[in-house]
Amino acid sequence: MEWTAIVMQLFTGLSLGMLYVLLALGLSIIFGLLTVVNFAHGAMYMWGAFAGAATIAITGNFWLALVISPLVIGGYGLIIERGLIRPLYGRDINYPLLLTFGLQFIMIEIIRIFWGTSDQPFSAPASLSMPLEIFGVFYFPSYRLFLIGITVVICIVLWIFLEKTNLGLVIRAGTRDPLMVRALGIDMRRIWWLVFGIGSALAGIAGVLAAPIRSVFPEMGIAMLVECFVVVVVGGMGSLKGAILSGIIMGEASSITTLFYPQMADIVIFLVMAVVLLIRPSGLFGKAGLLE
């Protein structure tokens, strides 16, 4: 096997890993502050793809879809937190888990009613449709390069927001000692509301970014949700740097296994999870603190 094929597969794995990163960041930031396991996250990812498809169908503009989709899904997340999740705070953790689990299937059925069950067309913009030649040897798909680049930018922006802004400091403090934050006169309910919206928006942008390289159909979020939970568990529940590192590892593991042993491609991430949890039951960064 030529080494160029291995390099190309590593590149493909990195782009897949970046999708995992975006989804896992959304799950982690919600769990880190709200301790809510959001089973509707995969459906929000799917809605992000369909919101992007609808925007393109109306305007023909991918870049507009890239902006509108996360705003729509983020806004939807704000409504869900305020109307459904907030009344369950302080109760058994299983209540929001079961609620979001059921919400996932409601969201899928809504899409089936209005869009049907067939795949929806979704192409990358013409400016990103041609492969990029590097050193005259590698021909990387331009869209996958864009996907990697924009995910890196999102990670940097999220880090700056959490580490360098007053609101970010309040969010991080809320994961450590919410009672102390309340004692300072800060309304944690508003912070929870905002964080759920941010996590939902990350799922939305992951959906619209995944659409040109993955099929867009009502059940697309189910398998991705399972894979995303594996990424979050391996990285450490609530750990942002764990989500990033784990997402990249899982993307590369899946891609390389597809090249050398395709029969194992669908289960390799679960094998990696089993090995990691045997060595570190709390995940790679599970003891580093939430939202770290």
Element (H, E) at 132: strand 131-134
Overall pTM > 0.75: yes
CA 196, CA 82: separation in Å to the nearest integer?
9
Judge whether residue 273 has pLDDT over 80: yes
pLDDT for 100 = 93
SS3 helix, strand, coil % of the chain, rounded to 5? 75, 5, 20
Contact 46, 205 (CB under 8 A): no
Handedness of CA 138, 141, 142, 148 (dihedral sign): negative
The pLDDT value given to residue 59: 92
pLDDT band at 239 (very low <50, low <70, confident <90, very high): confident
Residues 6+ apart with CB under 8 A from 278: none
Question: CA-CA distance, 249 to 272, in Å (whole number)?
Answer: 9
The tally of CA atoms less than 13 A away on the side-chain side of residue 42 is 22
Strand partners, 120: 216
Could you read off the pLDDT of 122-152 as tens digits, one per residue? 888 888 887 777 766 667 888 999 999 999 9
193-227: per-residue pLDDT in tens? 999 999 999 999 999 999 999 889 999 999 899 99
DSSP 3-state assignment of 134?
strand
Q: What percent of the chain has pLDDT over 90?
A: 53
Average the pLDDT over 159-163 and give the result: 89
The set of residues, in sequence order, having a beta carbon less than 8 Å from that of 251 and lying 6+ positions away, is 13, 14, 15, 16, 17, 18, 19, 20
**Given a cut of 90, is residue 40 above it in pLDDT?**
yes
